[in-house]
Structure 1
Amino acid sequence: MQISVIIPVYNAAEFLEKAVDSALQFNEVQEIVLIEDKSTDNSLEVCQKLIVKDSRIKLYQHADKGNHGAGASRNLGLEKANCEFISFLDADDYYLSNRFEAEKEIFKEAKIEGVFGAIGIEYLTEKGKEEFQSKFKNISLTTVNFPAEGETVLKGLLGLTPTVFGTFFHLNALTIRKSALVKNNLCFNENLRVHQDSDFITKLAYHCYLKSGIIDKAIAIRGVHDNNRITKIIRYSPQYNQRQFLLWKSLYDWSSTNPLPLDCKRKIYLTYTSFDLSLKTGLNKYFCIFLEAIKNPQIVKTQYRFTYLNR
């Protein structure tokens, strides 16, 4: 395997070298693509020192040297990456020594276009730990609950499998054939400043044949600290609902132009509608009704819904 590791860099000077070193340990990693996104700390200087350290490390910035977000930075990384396989790594996280063990075997099967695994957690600050655990309880592993491949992955991510599939697998634990991304014209939605990873993974699970790798133990570690954006938003707050609405609108617009299974279209539509209604009315009562409708679609019988599903 020849792998390009894409690392978007924004205000991660404190963590970046550890992330890069964790990728350099693998002979399969032929290049590490750093995309510096106009950090306000000294991340750019750290990047410039790292590219001298190893010829596999390459540094890029956006054409205007501006800040464009993680989605745009990953897209630039995809444009610059030269290897057959693509992996991602957040600048404040790191790979473990078993990161590509499953991939080396699974990708021998030609139909497999992507492999995903589990990531663990390292608490870097006490405040970060408190915020993370208040939102996600005491979750030690971000993973799925059972091995899956093909359409089961898509349905699992949308909560449509008989057994709960689990959380979204993290980009840190995903490896994908670049040819599959090119063939399906897949990239990150740059209009989403958050949740662009969830959007990308859902679309990827439909267009590409994914298979689970190591899901019972971590292959990478997420660093949890004071500045993790994922822990800052209170669930069902106006800001949370706005960000969820943008995610599900992106998925709804996409699903409207692709022949997804009917139950997948229904789930995406109902979730999108619930957040849309919540924002328009500001009434959690109606939002909760639609959340219940997502679990039990038969209770929702609006003409608009059936018009959409039958077209």
Structure 2
Amino acid sequence: MMLEISVIIPVYNAAEFLEKSVQSALQFEEVKEVILVEDKSIDNSLQICKKLASENNKIILLQHPDKENHGAAASRNLGMQKSTGDFISFLDADDYYLPNRFDAEKEIFKDPKIEGIFGAIGIEYLTEKGREEFQSKFNDTFLTKVNYPAEGMEVFKGLLGLTPKTFGTFFHLNALTIRRHSIDTHNLRFNELLRVHQDSDFIIKLTYHCYLKSGIIDKPVAIRGIHDDNRITKIIKYSPQYNQRQLLFWKSLYDWAEQQNIPSGSKEKIYLKYKSFDLSQKTGLIKYYNIFIEAIKNPNILKTQYRFNYQK
């Protein structure tokens, strides 16, 4: 099966890594176009984007209409809007694909029922500081993957922690390929109000609306570069900043779940996660009063990590 894939790369201050990222996508005959969405970098990323686009007609350079910075969510949305391939994949500008990136897609997408495929990604330490920060937060986990093959609603429930076996971490956008038609049918877009976690938000909604299947999950199909500027390693877990970002993420999912006819167990899990981080923002007696009220409505709130130890 010959695929026509649009690879969308949001670009912000990635001059050091960008060319390797782009070339890793161009190695595949299945890649119809590489869409660079330059997001008002303050380094020379724009100049590199222009150079790359001038050298290969598969490379399309976009900027936001006002040429301002709008974040990764808005950049990916713009890339999807302008894409022309039958399939869409994503790649971060400081990461790169491996030669096996689309091996599973060429076989699994022969089944028209399958709307998306996801795999595993590995890591490469580009700086010593980046390595230390990453390992202090995530240990030395080489693969970001799910723990066992899955498809359909099992993926959605697994990401919410509602499967009998531990499903694993969120799979990464770098290892996701989706039918463009499915995205458009369900009007799936990244939440531009989320400056972080917009990828996890998108993925959970995607796995509910579309039929996804795991591809290669025992070895990486892409590599994530770990360096000094990875945002995910900067936030201390359960710190006020972490709790605030988690609140925005789970509030986005809660608002979405309220509009969907999703299973009651899944809706409750999303609500409890949202409410736990909402409670983490309360202080003093108001916090304990709100916990008491929530516990009356649903005692399961006491099993969540609303965390007394910050913002008491």
What TM-score do you get using the length of structure 2 for normalisation? Answer: 0.91
Give runs of ≥4 in structure 1 deviating > 6 Å: none
Secondary structure in structure 1 of the residue aligned to 2:149? coil
The residue aligned with 1:203 is: 205
Percent identity of paired positions between Structure 1 and Structure 2 = 73
Contact 2:257 / 2:267 at 8 angstroms: preserved in 1?
A: yes
Matches within 5 A, 1:258-297: 258-281=260-283
The residue aligned with 1:33 is: 35
Alpha-carbon offset, residue 280 of structure 1? 1.6
Q: Deviations over 1:174-207 (max 9, x none)?
A: 0000000000010000000000000000000000
Taking a change above 3 Å as real, the CA distance of residues 13 and 249 of structure 1, as seen in their structure-2 partners, is same
Distance in 2, matches of 1:277 and 1:170, equals 29
> Are 1:221 and 2:223 matched, yes or no?
yes
Alpha-carbon offset, residue 215 of structure 1? 0.3
The residue aligned with 1:74 is: 76
Q: Which amino acid aligns with 2:196?
A: V
The residue aligned with 2:142 is: 140
Q: 1:99 aligns with which of 98, 101, 109?
A: 101
5+ unaligned residues in a row in structure 2: which ranges? 304-312
Alpha-carbon offset, residue 53 of structure 1? 1.6
Distance in 1, matches of 2:301 and 2:184, equals 40
Q: 2:6 aligns with which of 4, 13, 22?
A: 4
Secondary structure in structure 2 of the residue aligned to 1:102? helix
The residue aligned with 2:115 is: 113
Q: Deviations over 1:217-248 (max 9, x none)?
A: 00000000000000000000000000000000
The residue aligned with 1:192 is: 194
Q: Number of paired residues? A: 294
Distance in 1, matches of 2:60 and 2:204, equals 29
Q: Which amino acid aligns with 2:231?
A: R
> Are 1:59 and 2:69 matched, yes or no?
no
5+ unaligned residues in a row in structure 1: which ranges? 302-311
The residue aligned with 2:307 is: none
Q: Deviations over 1:244-290 (max 9, x none)?
A: 0000000000000001111100100000000000012379x97xx99
Q: CA RMSD in A?
A: 1.8
Q: Which amino acid aligns with 2:268?
A: R
Secondary structure in structure 2 of the residue aligned to 1:104? helix
Secondary structure in structure 1 of the residue aligned to 2:217? coil
Contact 2:35 / 2:79 at 8 angstroms: preserved in 1?
A: yes
Taking a change above 3 Å as real, the CA distance of residues 64 and 136 of structure 1, as seen in their structure-2 partners, is same
Contact 2:235 / 2:241 at 8 angstroms: preserved in 1?
A: yes
The residue aligned with 1:305 is: none
Distance in 1, matches of 2:97 and 2:302, equals 44
Alpha-carbon offset, residue 300 of structure 1? 6.0
The residue aligned with 1:308 is: none
The residue aligned with 1:129 is: 131
Distance in 1, matches of 2:54 and 2:216, equals 34
Contact 2:272 / 2:301 at 8 angstroms: preserved in 1?
A: no
The residue aligned with 1:177 is: 179
The residue aligned with 1:24 is: 26
The residue aligned with 1:231 is: 233
